[in-house]
Structure 1
Amino acid sequence: MKYILLSISFLLFISCNTETAKKVTNTSDYDEFLTVSNVDTSSKYFEIWNKKIKSDSSQLLSFGVVAGEYSRYFKNTGDIKFLKKAEKSLRKAVDVANIGKAGYLRALARNYISQHRFREALVLADSARYIGSGVEESQALLFDIHMELGNYEVAKKHLDSTENLSSFGYLIRVAKWNDYKGDLDTTIRFMEKAMAKAEDSKNKGLRIWSYTNIADYYGHAGRIKDSYNHYIKTLQLDPTNAYAKKGIAWIVFSHEKEPQEALRILDAVTKNNKSPDYLLLQSEIAEYMGRDMESIEYMENYFKEIKTPSLSHMYTAYTIPLYLDVTEQYNKALFLAKQEVLNRPTPEAYSLLANTYLKMGENEIALSIIDEHIIDKTFEPAILFRAAEVYRAVGYTEKVNELKEELSGAFYELGPIMESKIVSL
């Protein structure tokens, strides 16, 4: 299983943790990136193409270019309005395209993935595949969507149909598949091959994507220094990259136990990035510091941000635990958990539904969900922790101990607050 090699026993973990719990970050590495001015959300290049678009326009190339720029602005700012503007441009492109329609359908499907509209994305991807242009691109897209929907065996068939060890796209997807299967060593090996291809290509976008993703995988494997170095590499290419800064903040918080410095980093990030999940991380860090009122304030700001209908469903998996553990609004949690299972029937969604039933006192329902949809179907530690909570409630001590042993290797990934919860299982 995913973390067995890292956590054969609590004793082994503790010894490894003692050895690796050294300071790996240095403020001089990243301070200059925290003072980056506001992210640009326009350019001469963008304006030229945007002016070509009129209400009755059929300027196909203009729609594609403008949508790409809006998507870039969304990645840089986390502002949902740019993602919606990109959607509008791509929908128009799909409407007017005769040649190249499949490509625009795929682009719109990826926009929907970003909005967590997975079932709509699937319809578009199937339409693109039916048209026949760019078959491998459509198969790769279908793999991505089916992984998001929890249709893992269907996803594997699409992955196998695109097998090409010299392809960057195939390498990153086979890495993702092995991560799902719990084989972290193989995952990293394929991601390193993909990263090498990105570096050889000199493609800045692929290099940034490779560095942030392999930094995540290195973190999961306990290779904290390697993780940190690749977040720094990301910022050297893209000083505005909020995801890399968040990754460094997590290392500072979870590995080095310096919450004040982690908050300083995140405060700099949130000046230019509106992604609500940063607020929840700030809330978690403030809670760890014992600053309860500050933690609540960050949480309230999170709820304010996700009031927008286009945002609320994107953050359902974040909101449900707040209803369960903070506000104790179990009926609201149940409504959202059922919606999430319908929209995205993954082990994560089912774990949230199971924990909702657990909080409502429906232990047997929770247990049946865990046994049917979670165990042996995922190796994600947050999900396994929820399973352990259910097993503890029904008195399955042996199963709790098995999961507890496995989770002992995931303290860094889950964070200091969860560490104490795991120990007390």
Structure 2
Amino acid sequence: MKNLIWLFLSFAVLSCQSKVSEQKIADSADYNQFLQEQPSQQSLETLNEEIKFWENKLSSSPKNVTYINKLAGLKSRQFRLDGSIENIHISDSLYKKAIELNPFSNAGLYQALSGNSITKHEFVEAKKYAEMALAEGDKKTSTYYLLFDALMELGEYQRATGILNMQENKSSFDYLVRASKLADHNGDLDQAIVLMEQAFERVKADNSLFSWAKSNLGDMYGHAGRIQDSYNAYLEVLNKNPEHWHSLQGIAWINFAHDKNTSEAKRILNKVKAHINDPQINFILAEIAEYENNEALSTELKKAYYAQASSPEYLGMYNKYLILLEAEDLRMPDAALTRATAEQEKRPTPEMYDLLAWSYFQKGNHKKALELATAHIENKTSHPEVLYHLGVIFKMNNFAKKGNTYLKEALESTFELGPLTTAKIEKALKS
């Protein structure tokens, strides 16, 4: 993983897609084998054996920095495999212990803490640790890439761009992935995909990075309306790594959002849910239940999601979805506004300002929502959900023409938004 912990986050593409074909894409014959077979658990079992080995080594030599560092990395990896949040916190504490004991450069340890912080969506901390790693004087290239990741999440786009421009090797995997992310932020999804495809070519023989790179291409193809390409990418990953839960979730979304095959989507998601502790699965299942007009189940799943994702141990990892639930479904506008304000203060990005504006809007303060939209959101992002919010905010403030323009633009991204939000947009256009 070696300073690439950030890679196992879902790639946040922020662009719109073209209209997609109505032809069914998913075929259960393509992926049934991954649902019917019991997972081998080989990866997790092997990892647990490694953890036990290094725990035994550490117990006999509790101040050995090498042992501590090794165990910290394994705990971070364990979180990515089983979703147990306590493992990332254990990893953090071990890295911090190693720093206290290490008489040499701590650049690599600070890098690891920065990567863990990105995983936890603690981007201010990620920036701090990356800058501490830079101050150590070595491993600067890899540290700059971690700093770039943190800066992009904090809305410091100019500094992030400067860091990318100063890199000498513009054909490396690390560079191409970041260049792709920047292109997507700038609204050029086609170029972002080209760059990510180039990045994939450089690691397709690397088992540790193949699945991440290819599945993220699957995500990006979906956002571009290339649903067949997205589906094929997920299948390619699963044929190489049958327990790649993110790819199965991607196929579940294709079944739901494109094919409208809710039974298949639920079958896949429940399979994934049985093997990884990811709160987001309940969130998607709740959306499917609402689409099926099962309001009781949808509410139950949303409350279950909220109870888990709002737990302090998850820090800010799911704040976006918590804010949306508080503002809309759970009818907790004050809680949404408090959470959105805190998030925006840490991350003054257009997307965080959108959550703040939407919270004000749902609380009934349409004028404040419009002020935020005009000053901090409009013309600064092409994220379809933000465009939907902008459309509604402008229409409710008597700017119907501008509002409808944003709503129509958002409607170009039906696959990304899903059937429920698409229906809301269509209703708003008729109002």
The alignment's TM-score, normalised by the length of structure 1, stands at 0.93
Corresponding residue of 1:88 = 93
- State yes or no: 1:271 paired with 2:270: no
Query: How many Å apart are 1:242 and its aligned residue?
Result: 1.4
Q: Structure 1 runs of 4+ off > 3 angstroms? A: 35-39
Q: Which residue of 2 aligns with 1:75?
A: 80
Q: Tell me, yes or no, if structure 1 residue 23 matches structure 2 residue 28.
A: no
Q: Provide Cα deviations, 1:208-243, integer angstroms capped at 9, x if missing partner.
A: 111111101100111111111111122222222211
Larger mean Cα displacement after TM superposition, 215-224 or 41-50:
41-50
Distance 1:406 1:45 in 2: 50
1:27-66 residue pairs with structure 2 within 5 A? 27-34=28-35, 35-37=37-39, 39=41, 40=44, 42-54=47-59, 57-66=62-71
Where does residue 351 of structure 1 map in the other structure? 354
Tell me if structure 1 keeps the 8 A contact 2:15–2:184: no
TM-superposed CA distance for 1:315, in Å, is 1.3
- Picking from 329, 349, 356, the partner of 1:326 is 329
Partners of 2:15 and 2:319 in 1: CA distance:
27
Q: What is residue 406 of structure 2 aligned with on the other side?
A: 403
Match 2:103 to one of 93, 98, 101 = 98
Give the deviation of 1:138 after TM superposition: 1.2
**C-alpha contact 2:120 2:315 (8 A) present in aligned 1:** no
Query: Which residue in the other structure is 1:216 paired with?
Result: 219
Partner Cα distance (2:300, 2:362) in 1 = 25
Cα deviation per residue 1:306-351 (whole Å; 9 max; x = unaligned)?
2421215321111111111112111111111111112222212111
- Residues 212 and 230, structure 1, Cα contact 8 Å, conserved in 2: yes
What is the CA deviation profile of residues 62-93 of structure 1, one whole-angstrom value per residue up to 9, with x for unaligned ones?
22222222122111221101111111221122
Counterpart Cα distance in 2 of 1:122 and 1:312: 17
Find 1:304's aligned residue among 302, 307, 318: 307
> Structure 1, residues 272-323: CA drift from partner, whole Å, max 9, x if none?
1111111100000011011111111211211221242121532111111111
- Matches for 1:252-267 after TM superposition, within 5 Å: 252-267=255-270
Summarize the Cα distance change of 1:333–1:43 in structure 2 as closer, same or farther, 3 Å threshold: closer
The answer for the alignment partner of 2:155 in structure 1 is 150
Number of residues paired by the alignment?
411
Partners of 2:285 and 2:187 in 1: how far apart?
29
- Give 1:149 shift: 0.7
Whichever residue aligns with residue 63 of structure 2, its letter is S
1:166, distance to aligned residue in structure 2 (A): 2.1
By how many angstroms is 1:28 displaced?
A: 2.1
Q: Where in structure 2 are the equivalents of 1:175-324 lying within 5 Å?
A: 175-199=180-204, 202-324=205-327
Contact 2:395 2:404 in 1 (8 A): no
Counterpart contact for 1:67–1:89, Cα < 8 Å: yes
Partner of residue 132 from structure 2, selected from 105, 127, 132? 127
**Structure 2 partner of 1:174:** 179
CA distance in 2 between partners of 1:38 and 1:204 (Å):
17
Which whole-Å CA distance do the structure 1 matches of 2:130 and 2:116 have between them? 12
**What's the offset of the Cα at 1:3?**
6.2
Question: For 1:3 and 1:27, how far apart are their aligned partners in 2?
Answer: 29
Secondary structure of 1:54's match?
A: helix
Q: Take 1:307 and 1:279, find their aligned partners in 2: how far apart are those partners?
A: 13
- For residue 422 of structure 1, the aligned residue among 404, 422, 425 is 425
How much does 1:49 deviate? 1.5
- In structure 2, give the amino acid aligned to 1:23: K
Cα distance in 2 for partners of 1:182, 1:414 equals 17
Q: Which residue of 1 aligns with 2:3?
A: none
CA drift of 1:252 comes to 0.5
Q: Distance in 1 between matches of 2:168 and 2:212?
A: 21
CA distance in 2, matches of 1:239, 1:129: 38
Q: Which residues of structure 2 form unaligned runs of 5+?
A: 1-13
**Separation of aligned partners in 2, 1:229 and 1:116:** 30
**Any idea what SS the aligned residue of 1:43 has?**
helix
AA at the equivalent of 1:285: I
Q: In structure 2, give the amino acid aligned to 1:400.
A: G
Find the aligned partners of 1:307 and 1:363 in 2 and give their Cα distance. Answer: 27
Q: How does the TM-score come out when normalised to structure 2?
A: 0.91
Alpha-carbon separation, structure 1, partners of 2:292 and 2:397:
33
Contact 1:163 1:170 in 2 (8 A): no
Is the CA contact (8 Å cut-off) linking 1:175 and 1:191 kept in structure 2?
yes
Alignment of 1:382-393 (within 5 A): 382-393=385-396
Cα offset, 1:48, TM superposition: 1.5
- Whether the aligned pair in 1 keeps the contact of 2:58 and 2:68 (CA below 8 Å) is yes
Contact 1:280 1:302 in 2 (8 A): yes
Partners of 1:87 and 1:231 in 2: CA distance: 31
Kept in 2, the 8 Å contact 1:36–1:239? The answer is no
Q: Aligned partners of 2:123 and 2:322: how far apart in 1?
A: 19
1:10 is matched with which residue? Answer: none
- Which letter maps to 1:249? A
CA distance in 1, matches of 2:139, 2:396: 51
Q: Name the Cα RMSD after superposition.
A: 1.7
